A and B are shown apart, each in its own frame.
Chain A
Amino acid sequence: MTENTKVAAGVWLIAIAFAFLLPVICSYDKYILHVGITIAFNIALATSMWLIWTLGFISFAHAGFMGIGAYTSALLFTGLGWSLWVNMWLAAAVAGLMAFVISIPLMRTRAVYFFMASWAVGEVIKRVFAYYRGIFGGWDGIFNIQPPKLVLPGLNIDFSSRVAYYYLALVCCGLIVYVIHRIVRSRTGMIYWSIHESEILAQHVGINVLKHKVIAFSTACALAGVTGALYAHYHTYINPKTFDIWQSEFSLVHIIVGGLNTLNGPVLGATLLTVVDELLRPTGWYRVIFFGVVVILTVLFLPGGLETVPARLRALVGKWRKRSD
C-alpha cells in the first residue's frame, strides 16, 4: 500500500512540475495556455463536486453555485470596481452562504430526491440570472470584467497576460485541490465516507449527519464560487448559459471517467477529458456523442474509472504470472 502511495506521490510531483513548466514547454503558445486554464477550472469544479460525492450525493446545483461566485465577482467589479483579489473571497462567501441557507431544507431529501432537488436549485439560479435584466443583465450577461493587476513593491504583474493568468489559475486550482485533499484525509473525511457507506449507521454511532452534510455542501459550493470568480475574470464575459446544467453534467462525466474513489480520479478525468474535448472540437456534434459513448462504456466495463486501471493491470499481470508458473 505504501508502495502505491509512493508511486501516486511521484506521479503527482511530476504532474505538478509539468504544469508549472508548461508555458516554457509550449513556448508561451496562447491556445495551449488557454487549454491549461480551462483544465484548471474543470479540475476545481470536478474535485469540489467530488467532495460532495464523498458523502454519497451528486449535486447538479454545482454549476449554479459557480455562477453565483462568478456573478458576485463580476458585479462587484463592474459596480464598485473591486478587483479579483477581494472579490474571490466574497464570491466564496456568498456562494457558501447561499449553499448553507439552501442546504438546510435540501438536506432533508435523500438519494434521487436530493439529486433532483439540487438540479432544481441549479435551474432556479440560472433562471434568476436570466430574468432580472436590471441587475444581472438577463440572457446577455455581464461584459467587460477585467482581470486583476498585482502591484507590490518590486513586483508588478498584469494578469491580462495569458501566462500570468495561467499561473494564477494553476495556483488557485492547486490550493482548491489541496484543501479538498486535507479535508478528505482528515477525521472529518473519514466521517464523510462513513456517511457515504451508511447514513443510518453513521447516525447511530453518534455522527451528526445533517451538520456534516451542510458543512461539506457549503464548503464545496464556496470552492465552486471561487472557481466561478476566476472564470469570470478570465473570460471577461459571463452569461447564464455558462452556468447551465451542462456544466454540472460535464463535471460529473469527468468524475465518472476519472474515478470515484480517490481525489486522483476527478483530477485525472478533468485533465484528460478537457484535452480530448479540445482535440475533438473540429468534429462538432460527434464530440458530444463521443463523450456519451465514453461515459456508458466506463460505467459498464470500467466501474471505478481510469484511476483503477493500474490496479487492474497489476492484477492481470499477477494472474498471468501465476498461470505461467
Chain B
Amino acid sequence: MALDELTQMTLTGINLGLMYALIAIGLTLIFGIMRIIQYAHGEFYMLGAYVLYYWAAVLKLPYWVGIIVSAAVIFVVGAALQLLLFRPLHGKNILYSLAVSMGLIFIISSGGLLTFGTIVKGIPSVVTGGVMVFGAFYTYERMVISIVSAGLILGLWYFLQRTTTGMAMRAVSQDPEVSSLQGINTRRIHWIAFGMGSAMAAVAGCLMGTLLSIVPTMGFIATVKAFMIVILGGLGSVPGALIGGLIIGFIDSFVTTLVSADVAYIIGFATIFVILAFKPTGLFGQDWD
C-alpha cells in the first residue's frame, strides 16, 4: 500500500467519522435523555439537506446562513414532533417509540419521494481548491467540513459541561426523578434535547449533501450508521459516539477502498456484534432498562 493511498484513506476516514459522529451524537443525546428508540433520526438528516438545497440551490441564498436556517427549521420540527408524538409515550415500553418512529420513517421518506422527486440533486459547494498531503489530494471543502463537524462536537461538549441547560440535560439523563426533584423541568429538557439532536443530524445532512448528492431515501442509511455507532459506543454516551463514529468511518473508508462496500457493512456489523458479545452495553454505555 502506497503512502498516498494510505493518507487518502485516513483523511476520508476522519472526514466520514466526524460526520457520522455528528449524526450519532444527536441520536445518543435523544436516547440518553428520553430512553426512546428514535428510529427516524436519519430522516432529519435528509430533511436538513433538503432545506439547505432549497435555500442555497433553488433560492440562491448564502450557503453558511443556509446551514443555520436548516438547523433551526429541523430544531423546530424535531421539538414539535417530540411534544406531539413522543411525549405521550414517555415511560412506556421502547417498542412503542420504535413503532412511532418507524411510522415517521414511512411518512417522511415516502412524503419526501413525493415532494422532492426521485431525481438525485446536489448542493453547490462554496469552498473550492485543495492541497496535496503526502501525495494525496485533500480538498479544502473536506477540510472545512471536518473542522465544522469537530467544532460542533466540541461546542456540544462545552454546552453539556458548562451551561445550565446542558448540565440539566446530563442530570436528566442520569436520573430523571431526582433531577425533577431538584427543580429541573424535565419536559422542557426533553423537547430541547430532541430538537438539538435532530438539528445536529440536519447539519450533518447539509455537510454531506454538499460533498455527495442528496436523495429522499438517504435518511435510512444515516439511521443505520447512527445506530451502529451509538450501539458500538454505548447508548447515551457522547464520547462513545465520537469514538464509535471514527471507528465506523475508518472501517468504511479503508474497507470500501480496498474491498467493497458490502464487506464494509459486514465488518462494521461484525465489529459491533463482537463488542456486544463481550460488553453487552457498548464501549462506554450504561445498563439501561
**Is B44's beta carbon under 8 Å from chain A?**
no
Contact indicator per residue, chain A 62-94, by CB within 8 Å of chain B (1) or not (0)? 000000000000000000000000000000000
- The reply to whether A124 and B269 contact each other, CB–CB distance below 8 Å, is yes
Nearest CB of chain A from residue B223's CB, rounded to whole Å: 10
- The reply to whether B100 and A116 contact each other, CB–CB distance below 8 Å, is no
- The reply to whether B113 and A285 contact each other, CB–CB distance below 8 Å, is yes
Partner-binding segment picked from B130-138, B148-156, B224-232:
B224-232
Nearest CB of chain B from residue A243's CB, rounded to whole Å: 15
- The reply to whether B114 and A285 contact each other, CB–CB distance below 8 Å, is yes
**Is B178's beta carbon under 8 Å from chain A?**
no
- The reply to whether A296 and B85 contact each other, CB–CB distance below 8 Å, is yes
**Is A212's beta carbon under 8 Å from chain B?**
no
Residues of A119-176 whose CB lies within 8 A of B: 119-121, 123-124, 127-128, 130-131
Nearest CB of chain A from residue B276's CB, rounded to whole Å: 5
**Is B37's beta carbon under 8 Å from chain A?**
yes
Residues of A253-277 whose CB lies within 8 A of B: 253, 256, 260
- The reply to whether B266 and A292 contact each other, CB–CB distance below 8 Å, is no
Contact of B96 among A110, A115, A291, A303 (CB under 8 A): A303
Give the nearest-CB partner of B282 in chain A.
A113
Partner-binding segment picked from B16-24, B104-112, B204-212, B238-246:
B104-112
- Give the secondary structure class of B's interface: helix
Output the residue of A58, A127, A291 with the most chain B CB within 10 A.
A127
- The reply to whether A131 and B100 contact each other, CB–CB distance below 8 Å, is no
A112-B31, A112-B235 are known contacts. Are A299 and B280 too (CB-CB below 8 A)?
A: no
**Is B270's beta carbon under 8 Å from chain A?**
yes
Give bound CA distance, A101 to B277, whole Å. Answer: 12
Give the nearest-CB partner of A102 in chain B.
B273
Contact of B37 among A115, A124, A289 (CB under 8 A): A115
- The reply to whether A289 and B110 contact each other, CB–CB distance below 8 Å, is yes
Give the nearest-CB partner of A129 in chain B.
B262
Residues of A268-325 whose CB lies within 8 A of B: 285-286, 288-289, 291-296, 298-300, 303
Nearest CB of chain A from residue B193's CB, rounded to whole Å: 17
Give bound CA distance, A289 to B280, whole Å. Answer: 35
Nearest CB of chain A from residue B252's CB, rounded to whole Å: 13
Output the residue of A112, A249, A289, A298 with the most chain B CB within 10 A.
A112
- The reply to whether A296 and B103 contact each other, CB–CB distance below 8 Å, is yes
Give bound CA distance, A123 to B261, whole Å. Answer: 13
**Is B63's beta carbon under 8 Å from chain A?**
no
- The reply to whether B110 and A108 contact each other, CB–CB distance below 8 Å, is no
**Is A229's beta carbon under 8 Å from chain B?**
no
Q: A53 to chain B: which residues have CB within 8 Å?
A: 95
Q: B281 to chain A: which residues have CB within 8 Å?
A: 109, 113
Contact indicator per residue, chain B 119-149, by CB within 8 Å of chain A (1) or not (0)? 0000000000000000000000000000000
A113-B280, A115-B94, A117-B276 are known contacts. Are A300 and B100 too (CB-CB below 8 A)?
A: yes
**Is A105's beta carbon under 8 Å from chain B?**
yes
Q: A253 to chain B: which residues have CB within 8 Å?
A: 99, 102
A120-B228, A124-B265, A285-B113 are known contacts. Are A113 and B276 too (CB-CB below 8 A)?
A: yes
Nearest CB of chain A from residue B244's CB, rounded to whole Å: 12
Give bound CA distance, A294 to B103, whole Å. Answer: 8
Give bound CA distance, A291 to B104, whole Å. Answer: 10
**Is A252's beta carbon under 8 Å from chain B?**
yes
Q: B100 to chain A: which residues have CB within 8 Å?
A: 295-296, 299-300
- The reply to whether B262 and A108 contact each other, CB–CB distance below 8 Å, is no
Residues of B74-105 whose CB lies within 8 A of A: 85, 88-89, 92, 94-96, 98-100, 102-105
Give the nearest-CB partner of A132 in chain B.
B262
A112-B235, A296-B104, A299-B89 are known contacts. Are A131 and B262 too (CB-CB below 8 A)?
A: yes
- The reply to whether B280 and A130 contact each other, CB–CB distance below 8 Å, is no
- The reply to whether A110 and B37 contact each other, CB–CB distance below 8 Å, is no
**Is B272's beta carbon under 8 Å from chain A?**
yes
Give bound CA distance, A72 to B107, whole Å. Answer: 35
**Is B175's beta carbon under 8 Å from chain A?**
no
- The reply to whether A117 and B273 contact each other, CB–CB distance below 8 Å, is yes
**Is A111's beta carbon under 8 Å from chain B?**
yes
Given pairs A112-B94, A289-B106, 18 additional interface contacts (CB within 8 A) = A58-B95, A105-B273, A109-B281, A113-B235, A113-B280, A113-B281, A116-B231, A117-B273, A117-B276, A127-B262, A285-B111, A288-B110, A292-B102, A292-B104, A294-B103, A295-B100, A298-B99, A300-B88
A residues touching B (Cβ–Cβ < 8 Å)? Answer: 53, 58, 105-106, 108-113, 115-117, 119-121, 123-124, 127-128, 130-131, 249, 252-253, 256, 260, 285-286, 288-289, 291-296, 298-300, 303
CB pairs A–B below 8 angstroms (6 shown): A53-B95, A116-B230, A120-B273, A121-B269, A131-B266, A256-B95
